[in-house]
Structure 1
Amino acid sequence: MQINIVKIGGNVVDNPEALQTFVEEFSQIEGPKILVHGGGVLASRLSEKLGIEPKMVNGRRITDENTLDVVTMVYAGLVNKKIVALLQAKGENAIGLSGADGNLITSEKRPVKDIDYGFVGDIVAVNVPLLETILSHNYVPIVAAITHDKNGQLLNTNADTITAELGLGLARHHDVSLFYGFDKNGVLKDINDDQSNISEINFEKYQDLQAEKTIHSGMIPKLDNAFKAISKGISQVWLGKAEDVRKAINSKSKGTFIKTQTS
C-alpha cells in the first residue's frame, strides 16, 4: 500500500484562509493518507491569555503541568475537531485521534539532562495494526501531537517526530512518503526571502547549513526527523508550503526534497 503522511504546522492551523486552502488540496489527494498536526501558535496565544508564559528551546516547547493542559485542549480538542469537520465538509471521512486513542502512540517522559522539558514524550511504540485497520476502511486519521505513557499520563510530543515515527512504523510493510507542510517554500537560504528555497538537501549539506546558522529553531527538528526517516526506509521526504502538498506528491512543486545520506 502506498501511504502519504502529511504534517501541517501551527502557522497554517492558525490562519483560517491557509487552513481552508490546505484542506481543499488535502481532500483531493488520492489513496490512503494520514494528517498530523500541532497547533503551537494558537497554544502559545492561549497560554499568554491565561498568564502562562510560553517557553521554547531549539524549537521545542517546555511543557509544565499548566502548559500540558493548554496544549491538550488546543491540539487534541479545538484544532483536531476543526480539521476533522472541515474535511468532512469535503467528503473525507476523517477521524480525529491523539496518541492515547486506541493506544495509537505510546511514549515515555523525556529524562532530564541539560534541559528539563517537562511533560514531553519520546515515542516508544506506534500501533501500526490500528492505523492499517483505519486506512483499510477508508477513514482518514487526523493525529494530534499528544501521546500517552500507558500509566494515565498525557505527554506533549513534537508533531514532526510523530510524523516520522508513524511513517517508520508503516514503512515496514508499505511504501511511505512524508510531506511536511508549513508557511514557507521549503528550507530557505534566507529566512526573509521565500524564493531562496533549496530544492534538494543531503545530510552533508544539512550539517553545513547548521554550521553556517542558516538553519535554526523549529527547522532543526523537522530536518532531524526527515533525515532519520529517509535513512530508515521512508521513500520520500518533502518540506514546503502546505498548499503545495498535492503538487509535491506528483513531483510538481517547489519546496525541498530530502536526499539519501551519502558517505
Structure 2
Amino acid sequence: MVIVKIGGNVLDNPDRLHGFLVDFAQLPGPKLLVHGGGKIASAMGQRLGINPKMVDGRRITDAETLDLVTMVYGGLVNKQVVAKLQAVGCNAIGLTGADANCIAAHKRPVREIDYGYAGDVAGSQSINIQALEAFFAAGLTPVFAPLTHDTKGSILNTNADTIASVLATALAARHTVQLVYSFEKKGVLQDATDDNSVIPDINLHKYNELKAQGVVHAGMIPKLDNAFGALKQGVAEVLICEAEALTSINTASYSGTTLSLN
C-alpha cells in the first residue's frame, strides 16, 4: 500500500499537478492521497480580506481562518483533485477526518502560543481503520484534506504531513506501507540553493547530525520528524521526492531521499 502526501508548489501548478495525478493513478494496488493547500488558502484569504497569521511556519487558525481552510481544503482543493483523478481513471473519494469518523483529533493545548482551532492527532488509535478498509474493498482511493474533527462537532486544521504519517502508521498494522512525501524539490537537499544536492539516504543518526548542522531546518524538521515517527511505528519505507519521481519510487532510477532508522 502506498500513501502519498502532495503539497508545496505542486497543487497550485496545473501542469505539475496533472502530471502527478496521472502518475498517482497508475500506482498499482491500494493507495491513499493526502494533500495540503496552505498557499491556496492564503491567497484565497487575502482575496476575502483574511490575512494569514503564521508563527514558525504554522498557521494560527482563528474562527475566521477555520471557515476559510474548511472551504479551501475540504471544498475547493479536495474536490478539484478528486475530479482530476476521476478524469484519469482513478475512482477517488474526497474526505476530511470528520467523514466516516476517519480521523479524530484534539484541539492543540495553549502553551506559549495559541494556535486556535489546530488539531493534534493522538496516534493511530484515532484512525477509523474499518472505514478505510471499506473504501479500499470498494475499489475507492481516499483523498484526504488536512482537516480532522474533535468528535464534539468542530473541524480542526491539521498538518497534512502529520495526517499522512498517522494514516500510514495505522494501516501498517495490516499492510506493508510505503509513505511518500512528494513536493516540488527533488528530495532533502544538502544545499537549499542547489536543487541537485539531494541526500540519497538519511538514517536517524544522520538526521540528528543534519539538524545540528542546520542543513535540515524550518519546515523540513516537522516533515522528517513525522517520517521517522512513522518508521518507528512499523511503516516499511519513507521516501521524500519531487512529484515527477512518483513512478520511479520502486525502480533503480529513483533519485529522491530514502529514510531509514539504521
Q: TM over 0.5: same fold?
A: yes
Q: Is the 8 Å Cα contact of residues 150 and 156 (structure 2) preserved in structure 1?
A: yes
Query: In the alignment, what sits opposite 1:75?
Result: 73
Q: CA RMSD in A?
A: 1.2
| Alignment correspondent of 1:194 | 195
Q: Which residue of 1 aligns with 2:19?
A: 21
- In structure 2, what is the Cα distance between the partners aligned to 1:52 and 1:214? 34
Partners of 2:62 and 2:221 in 1: CA distance: 22
Quote how far apart the aligned CAs of 1:57 are.
2.7
Aligned residue runs from structure 1 range 171-190, under 5 A:
171-190=172-191
Structure 1 residue identity aligned to 2:104: T
Q: Which runs of 5+ in 2 are unaligned?
A: none
Counterpart position of 1:35? 33
Deviation at 1:56, TM superposition (A): 2.5
Name the amino acid aligned to 2:162. T
- Find 1:6's aligned residue among 4, 7, 22: 4
Match of 2:52 in 1: 54
Partner Cα separation in structure 2 for residue 180 and residue 123 of structure 1: 19
Alpha-carbon distance in structure 1 between the residues aligned to 2:201 and 2:55: 27
Q: C-alpha distance in 2, partners of 1:207/1:58?
A: 20
1:140-186 CA-to-partner distances (Å, cap 9, x unmatched) read: 00010000001111000000000010011111111111000000001
Q: Check if 1:220 corresponds to 2:218.
A: no
Aligned to 2:164: 163
CA distance in structure 2 between the aligned counterparts of 1:252 and 1:117, rounded to whole angstroms: 42
Q: Which residue, 75, 82, 85 being the options, matches 1:84?
A: 82
Q: TM-score, normalised by structure 1?
A: 0.95
Deviation of 1:218 (Å) = 1.6
Distance 2:256 2:117 in 1: 33
Counterpart CA distance in 1 for 2:146 and 2:127 is 13
Q: Displacement of 1:4 after TM fit?
A: 0.4
In structure 2, do the counterparts of structure 1 residues 137 and 250 end up closer, same or farther at CA, with 3 Å as the change threshold? farther
The superposition leaves residues 240-263 of structure 1 with CA deviations (integer Å, 9 ceiling, x where unpaired) of 101212211345311110011x4x
- Higher mean Cα deviation, 114-123 or 246-255? 246-255
Q: Which moved further from structure 2: 81-90 or 242-251?
A: 242-251
- Which has the larger strand fraction? 1
Inter-CA distance 134–250: structure 2 relative to 1 (3 Å threshold): farther
The CA distance in 2 between the partners of 1:46 and 1:184, in whole Å, is 24
In 1, Cα distance between the equivalents of 2:57 and 2:216?
11
Distance in 2 separating the partners of 1:50 and 1:24: 32
Partners of 2:57 and 2:257 lie apart in 1 by 20
Shift of the alpha carbon at 1:53? 2.2
Q: 1: distance between equivalents of 2:177 and 2:69?
A: 28
Aligned pairs for 1:104-253 (under 5 A) are 104-124=102-122, 125-250=126-251, 252-253=253-254
Give deviations 1:90-146, integer Å, cap 9, x for gaps: 111110000000001000000011221111001130111111110111110001000
Percent identity over the alignment is: 53
Show structure 1 runs of 5+ residues with no match.
Answer: none
Which amino acid in structure 2 is aligned with residue 62 of structure 1?
I
Bigger mean CA offset, 127-136 vs 53-62: 53-62
Give the number of equivalent residue pairs: 259
Cα deviations across residues 35-94 of structure 1 (Å, max 9, x unaligned)? 000101101111222222212233322211111111111111011011111110111111
TM-score (structure 2 length as normaliser): 0.96
SS in structure 2 at match of 1:11? coil
Separation of aligned partners in 2, 1:50 and 1:252: 45
Equivalent position to 2:43, from 36, 42, 45: 45
Which amino acid letter does the alignment assign opposite residue 231 of structure 1?
K
